[in-house]
Structure 1
Amino acid sequence: MPASRTTRPMVPPSVWLTAGRYSGTSAHDVLRRTLHRLKDSGDIDSFLELPEEPPGAGPKPRHDAPDLVFQARVRVAGPVTVRARLSVGPGTGGGRPWVLVAEAEQPWDPMWPSPTGMFWPVDEPDMEWNHDAATGLRLGEISPLPEDDKAVRRLMRDCARNANGNGNGWNIHVVVHEAMTTDDRGRMPLACWLPPGLRHRVVEHRAAPHQLRVVNWALRDCGVEVPRGGAVVLPGNPVPDGHDAGEFSVRAVFLDGTRPAGLVDAVTRFAALPRPLPAGAEVALTALREDWRLLNLEEELARERRLVSLYAEALEAMTTSRDLYREAAESAHEALAAYREAAGAPGVRALPPGTPAPSPMRQLARTFERLRFGPRARRPSPAGEERRALSAADVQSTSSGP
């Protein structure tokens, strides 16, 4: 059973994330070539490929540990720095899964460039990296619904379950119904009109004119439906806070090559809703923050200053512990010297031959007892109490005799 929304951390406002699958055979070559080209053209400031851990350097990596990890940084809107981390997992039958997490120095603006373009070649034809992780459909392109009714229901159920961070889906799913068969102008993807930060996070499903009843039958469990000739943004499971099905449903989408303003606005507002981190995103975000190695000169200096401060605090704590230990040792030596001086003073009766020397700890304990009960008062002992009780009993019996 999936975890509830209240028990899962939310996506921070400064974080941008997505995930997909690479269907090619040489992801490392594509990434390295793209990163070098972007660095030479000035589109990114710098990048780094994290080296693999050498054998014997530590514990063995987990079975789900990524094969490739790249870090890149870029400045947007002037001085705002964006740090991004892309991890590519081992290959499977459906391709190689990848996860991309980026974090800015201030809340994310959807008008900023998509961090996907910091790693993948977004302008090349026949791209192999832009497959949705959950459905395998292409990100930012039109995906016609299958003709089989059961397949439509299965696909819509999977999209609704994965659209808002449940399972492996990290992307936004939109269903558009074609009121009539469209021409080339109507085949323009929705991603072309979206803000740059959303173009590689949307999966667009197109329902043919005769599929309206089938798709709405498949969406019954989601609590939404597609208007005839309109569109709807799938809410996902769990439904994000502040979601109203009517606010993210568009009654009419004109597929004539003009900008679908209502649908663009609905997708943008939906993307701004608070939502829980997808499964696996918390690990990726922690790795971005705690294992960031692509530092500039100022960050290197700041890191060294923090290390020096930590070392100074540790040294001060060790010095304080040493001083306390020294004071305790000096106090013990003074007590031992006082005991020896008292034991060798005149008038102190010598012990009989063969009697073991008293223990210093016992002498110190007795000294503390004398200080506790005073110089004149003696500590009562059980034997003395018993002798006094027997004497009192003898006196009583003598006085009451015949």
Structure 2
Amino acid sequence: MPTSPTVRPMTPATVWLARGRHAEGAAEDVLRRSLEQRKRSRAIDDFLELPETGTEAGTEADTEARTDAGTEEAPAERVFEARWRVEETVTVRARIGVTPGPDGGQEWILVAEAERPWNNDWPSPAALFWPEEPDLAWDRDGAAELSLRKVNPLPQDDKDSRRLFRNAVRGGWHIHVVVHEAMTTDERGRLPVARWLPPSLRHRVVEHRAAPQQHRGLNWALRDLGVQVPRGGAAVLPGTPAPEGYVAEDFSVRAVFLDGSEPTDLVDAVTRYAALPRPLPEGAEDALTALREDWHLLTLQEELERQRGLVAMYAEALEAMTKSRDLYREAAERAHEALAAYQESAGAAPVRQRPSDTPLASPLQQLTRTFERFKGKGQRPVAPSRDEG
């Protein structure tokens, strides 16, 4: 099974993550309208659109220097912040960053963090940022061009399926579920299984669907991942790297009835998989750091606490500078006193003949003794021990 060459930090239990691609139009306009509607309906408490970052940073000279050096500017990022409460008292803070994609679309990363471990029964942050209308294509998996809200049929060519799975599981952003149809389904069977999942899992799951005649080719395509799908069953695929505690047999479902009834075994497997400790996906660490350290949507109480913290920090810095200045001044005064004492003793001392065996004290030695005398002024005499004398 493929493994990541680097060790990434683990995803905190309080964090919810998602990533995708907005295929058409200006994503910021869609987000702005959706968030305004959510605020009016009181689904969220408030939201904030931050100024565009990336293209405006730096001066014209900086831009020319980067061009001369052959480096490209970072793409402009549009950022929206939102906050809401779940269970009436638990605050959730969320941040979505949107950047231009290589093919004209826009890539987005959404990070949310609650004040306590995340509960999958809470609303999906993606459903609060994005509208639920099915004709708005914000729900694409940018890496493999898959849908987060619809069923994704497997390619007809087995080699294409193998390549699809290998690319899809990279990064660890989504939970990939493969369902094999035991027989041709009707309209009810073509609905995504994700609709039965808890709300917070619905926009994190990518559902692959294999036709009845694709069973053998499906398992051949999954061989590199160490996973096999039972005929008419399903499996939850490991990410790259696989979460700690993942065993393929534990996340394989023997039968999924695509008749419109709830697939309880598959829902249980996906829910258990989502609860496994897992590394942060590629690119998520920077987004999480920005959410925690560069947050702007503050309440009045939070803004007051922030200002108090800044005042305390500045007061400590000023006190440290004052102490440093006083110590420097005291040291300078002592040095001047020592130098004056040396000059006075050197000018007033009579010249007399010393015995040949008594070495003449040099000016440097006299200055050293003067410094030692000033140094010892503030020291307390040490009482002799009982063993002495």
More deviation, 59-68/299-308: 59-68
Deviation of 1:149 (Å): 2.2
Matches within 5 A, 1:274-289: 274-289=277-292
Structure 1 residues 175-217: Cα deviation after superposition (integer angstroms, max 9, x where no partner) = 0011011111212211110000000011111111110001001
TM, length-normalised to structure 2: 0.85
Matches within 5 A, 1:2-401: 3-4=4-5, 7-52=7-52, 54=56, 56=58, 63-93=73-103, 95-122=105-132, 124-159=133-168, 161-162=169-170, 165=172, 170-345=173-348, 347=350, 363-365=366-368
Partner Cα separation in structure 1 for residue 372 and residue 30 of structure 2: 83
The CA RMSD over aligned residues, in Å, is 2.6
Partner Cα separation in structure 2 for residue 57 and residue 43 of structure 1: 41
CA contact (8 A) 1:336 1:360 kept: no
CA contact (8 A) 1:186 1:255 kept: yes
CA contact (8 A) 1:18 1:201 kept: yes
Partner Cα separation in structure 1 for residue 264 and residue 234 of structure 2: 12
Secondary structure in 2 matching 1:89 = strand
Q: Which amino acid aligns with 2:119?
A: D
Deviation of 1:118 (Å): 2.3
Partner Cα separation in structure 2 for residue 138 and residue 306 of structure 1: 45
CA contact (8 A) 1:180 1:209 kept: yes
Deviation of 1:26 (Å): 1.7
More deviation, 359-368/128-137: 359-368
Deviation of 1:65 (Å): 4.1
CA contact (8 A) 1:173 1:234 kept: yes
Partner Cα separation in structure 1 for residue 279 and residue 31 of structure 2: 29
Deviation of 1:290 (Å): 1.2
Secondary structure in 1 matching 2:348 = coil
Partner Cα separation in structure 2 for residue 19 and residue 367 of structure 1: 72
Partner Cα separation in structure 1 for residue 256 and residue 372 of structure 2: 95
Deviation of 1:55 (Å): 5.7
CA contact (8 A) 2:338 2:371 kept: no
Q: Which amino acid aligns with 2:342?
A: Y
CA contact (8 A) 2:93 2:113 kept: yes
Structure 1 residues 137-174: Cα deviation after superposition (integer angstroms, max 9, x where no partner) = 11021111122222222212222x42x62xxxx11110
Structure 1 residues 60-115: Cα deviation after superposition (integer angstroms, max 9, x where no partner) = 69744443111111111111111111111113226211111111111111111001
CA contact (8 A) 2:3 2:242 kept: no
Relative to structure 1, the CA distance from residue 121 to residue 370 in structure 2 (aligned partners, 3 Å threshold; closer, same or farther) is closer
Greater Rg, structure 1 or structure 2? 1
Structure 1 residues 271-309: Cα deviation after superposition (integer angstroms, max 9, x where no partner) = 111111111111111111111111111110111111111
Deviation of 1:35 (Å): 1.2
Secondary structure in 1 matching 2:323 = helix
Q: Please list every run of 5 or more consecutive structure 2 residues that lacks an aligned counterpart in the other structure.
A: 67-71, 353-361, 375-389
TM, length-normalised to structure 1: 0.82
Partner Cα separation in structure 2 for residue 334 and residue 93 of structure 1: 76
Number of corresponding residues: 355
Deviation of 1:366 (Å): 6.9
Partner Cα separation in structure 2 for residue 57 and residue 302 of structure 1: 34
Q: Which amino acid aligns with 2:333?
A: E
Structure 1 residues 237-283: Cα deviation after superposition (integer angstroms, max 9, x where no partner) = 22211111111000011111111000000001101111111111111
Secondary structure in 2 matching 1:332 = helix
CA contact (8 A) 2:49 2:79 kept: yes
Partner Cα separation in structure 2 for residue 309 and residue 24 of structure 1: 48
Q: Which amino acid aligns with 2:147?
A: R
